[in-house]
Amino acid sequence: MKKIVIFASGSGTNAQNIVLHFTNSSKAYQFHIFSNNANARVLEKAQNLAVPTKIISKVDLNSDVLLNYLLEIQPDLIILAGFLLKFPSNCIEAFPNKIINIHPALLPKYGGKGMYGMNVHRAVVENKEAETGITIHYVNENYDEGNIIFQTSVSLSGDETPDDVASKIHELEQTHFPLIIDKILNQ
């Protein structure tokens, strides 16, 4: 049985999509969803999918509390899916090459602290980019600087709004993220 821990801070559409992707698999998967936001909609989605959840505070994140939770579970993969806090270095050290993140741009462009969600999409539109996309990468100590696992792009016509870009990125995430996770887990 493969154990997967998903971290999310918001609505949880990627987390839900990942769990649903593996639900009908012939292989066994066990999911856990952690959030730093007690009001995040991802927690409701997890409950509807019968996935155990855990709320982690910033104190938990920056101490050995989170590390101990993860050591108990011994996940095969840790997925950051819309998790907005910097992942702690003690967890990165304990689970090398087992923590991945999805970023809503073609890294190295539009990465780094504060570059998430609509902040990225606004920057893409303001800079009149001809394309944008998603990057799935390993997590290291620096925001959005881990080794790239996968990138795919979508063309922009120049008249998109940040909401239009967000919609195109969401479609790429929903299509590709579960497939890349599947590939990582089963290589």
pLDDT-derived band of residue 187, with 50, 70 and 90 as boundaries? Answer: confident
pLDDT of residue 84: 87
Residues 6+ positions from 159 with CB-CB distance below 8 Å: none
* 67, pLDDT greater than 90: yes
Structure confidence by residue, pLDDT tens digits, 74-86: 999 999 999 989 9
Q: CB burial class (10 A; 0-12, 13-18, 19+) of residue 1?
A: exposed
Owner of token pair 């696992």:
149
Mean pLDDT along residues 54-63: 93
* 25, pLDDT greater than 90: no
| Helices first, then strands: H and E counts in the chain | 7, 7
Structure confidence by residue, pLDDT tens digits, 158-168: 999 999 999 99
Strand order in the sheet with 2-7: 53-55, 29-35, 2-7, 77-80, 99-103, 131-138, 148-155
* 120, pLDDT greater than 90: yes
Cα end-to-end span (Å), the chain: 15
